[in-house]
Amino acid sequence: MSFMTKDKFFDREDYLEILRKRILGLKESYRQNIAIIGDESVGKTSIIFKFLNRFQDNFIITVYLEVRPETQAVFVKRFIGVLLYNFLVNSGTYLQEDLDFLIKKSERYIPKTIEKIKVILSALSKRKADWIFAELLSLTESLHRETDKFCVVIFDEFLNLETLGFKNLYREWSKLLILQKNTMHIIVSSMKFKAKGVLSKNLSLLFGNFEVISVLPFDIRTSERYLAERLLALSPKRPLLDFLVHFTGGYPLYLEVISAALSKSGQDNLMGVLEDLIFESSGILHQRFSNYIKRFLDTNYSHDYLSILYLISGGRNKIKDIAHILRKPQKEMAARVHHLLEVDTITRSGDFLKINDRVLAFWLEFVYQERLQSLTFDAKNQKEKFRQNLQKLIHVFYQEARKSLLERCFEVLRLFEDELIQVERKKIRLNHFREIKSLEFHNRRLKEGLIGRSHDSVWIMAFKRERLCEDDIADFSKECKKYRHKMQRRIIVTLQDEIDANTKLRALEEKIWTWDIHSLNQILDLFSKPWVIA
């Protein structure tokens, strides 16, 4: 279910522009297939729908199908129906969503393609259709030969094709991807882990390969613009917006549901709104999460999976600690964790684990687990405890927000215990520091920083609220040279969303790591610290 409804679409122009360029490239003999992957409810389908509603080109036919659990026959007929309907849509012909009608109306324009369709449907009725997937996808090239029109085939949740019984699915598909020059494929998946595996093993081609586009949640500024627009009538204060960005992680689904509920309440009643949505059994998000965890309840290791998720939600998020708490072998827990990674419930960053859906994590810790542990099932008592936990969460966020960036980084550095994490594809050892001190830089660009000393290295950090530039890198490099330690980790933290390519290149030359606000918040997440919102 998508709460980021198509009529309430917001932002995402960068993704829409990529789709526009790639699809128009078809007419210029440049065919680039695309794979769109991202978490559930991050807005992938909304992006596709927005694009389809906006896109208009008489020489390009789009064929969008949500791939769902159904019979092979139903899927095949849906594909043919959508292809023919969209072929005829600009013909001025009165259309009906009836396959026989569409075949009859199309036959005068594309007789050879219709002949192929009849062969496919005949084989389908006789259940002699081992070759049917390849023939189905070849219809687009047949249509091109008869009309000079190009086709864009979009499979939403494409991994569900595996459940439809097509033999040699990826082998046959790969052949077509190489040969078809006039058909572009866009595949969409919420199963990031598995989709990446299929793309790297089954659909990795020299010609016809897929450009992977990862759809991310809204960044901080976009999230706040979204909330400010949706809550305009309430004139929300900045601290409320900041907390909601942190709480939702910028996921369009949660921003939409919570802002709609706040608007409906007519007042700044965050506690009551979250109680209704998350705590109450009738709440939209409560029902969503209850349905989500059902996928683990009927498995052999249901108790292990839910115990691991509960521990991670509460900040005990390293395999060795989880194994110790549950009194089970680390190897056994690693196998359970691997399954949770495969189904995209969690991600791994070095030694740390994290639940992808931060609102689900909150529900697991303060609603689901509380009810499991309750001795009396006293709803009133549980509701009061939920409110107390939520109030504490909000209080801690506001308390942390009042601290300086230097102070917050100082506190998180004190938590390092030689763990490994991954930031922007780099594996980083978080050295345990025996000493951490603040620094003052005597230049106009960089004012303050931190130095942390471990037994074998020194970390030197600088902070800048504004956008980084190459001169900042040069100045920081000079400052670092004042310290003679051979094993230096040089890091500049900026509170901006992006760092430009030239600055990154200069930093690479000077062996300086650059962390934007997203990278910083990734680290804060791993230590159960509130986000920095700037």
**pLDDT cut 90: percent of the chain above it:** 84
Segment 14-29 shows an average pLDDT of 96
Mean pLDDT of 95-123: 95
The answer to whether residue 279 sits within a structural domain is no
**Do 228 and 83 belong together in one domain?**
no
C-alpha–C-alpha distance, residues 313 and 364, integer Å: 7
Q: For residue 128, what pLDDT is reported?
A: 66
Please indicate whether residue 363 or residue 41 has the higher confidence score (pLDDT). Answer: 363
Residues 249, 328 share a domain:
no
Structure confidence at residue 93 (pLDDT): 84
Q: How many domains does the chain have?
A: 4
445 and 368 in a common domain: no
User: At which of 340, 373, 400 does a domain end?
Assistant: 400
Residue 92 placed within a domain = yes
Q: β-strand 448-453 against 458-464: which pairing, if any?
A: antiparallel
C-alpha span between 358 and 366 (Å, rounded): 12
- Full domain range(s) for residue 233: 220-268
Could you tell me if 149 and 163 lie in one domain?
yes
Residue 123 belongs to a domain: yes
Residues 480, 331 share a domain: no
In a domain, 534, yes or no: no
Examine the domain organization and report whether 188 and 207 are in the same domain: yes
CA distances from residue 158 to 36, 185, 198 in whole angstroms, order as listed: 10, 11, 11
The DSSP symbol for 388 reads H
Is 1 within a domain? no
- Same domain, yes or no, for 178 and 233? no
Which tens digits make up the pLDDT trace of 223-279? 999 999 999 999 999 999 999 999 999 999 999 999 999 999 977 799 999 999 999
449 plus 420 within the same structural domain: yes
Residue 271 has φ and ψ, to the nearest 5°, of -60, -50
pLDDT in tens, 122-136: 998 877 667 899 999
- Give Cβ neighbours of residue 390 (< 8 Å, ≥ 6 apart): 271, 274, 275, 366
Residue 432: the pLDDT is 96
User: 9: closest CA among 38, 61, 69, 49?
Assistant: 49
- Does residue 6 carry a pLDDT above 70? no
Average pLDDT, the chain: 93
Question: Is 256 found in the same domain as 224?
Answer: yes
Whether residue 165 sits in one domain with residue 42: yes
CATH number, domain of 146, equals 3.40.50.300
Residue 520 lies in a domain: yes
Q: Are strands 419-423 and 426-430 parallel, antiparallel or unpaired?
A: antiparallel
Same domain flag for 335 and 370: yes
| Residue 371, domain CATH | 1.10.10.10
State how far the Cα of 204 lies from the Cα of 243, in Å rounded to an integer: 42
Claim to verify: residue 290 and residue 323 sit in the same structural domain: yes
Domain boundary among 356, 382, 400: 400
Q: Of 353, 370, 400, which one is at a domain's C-terminal end?
A: 400
Whether residue 68 is contained in a domain is answered as yes
- For 147-178, what is each residue's pLDDT tens digit? 999 999 999 999 999 999 998 999 999 999 99
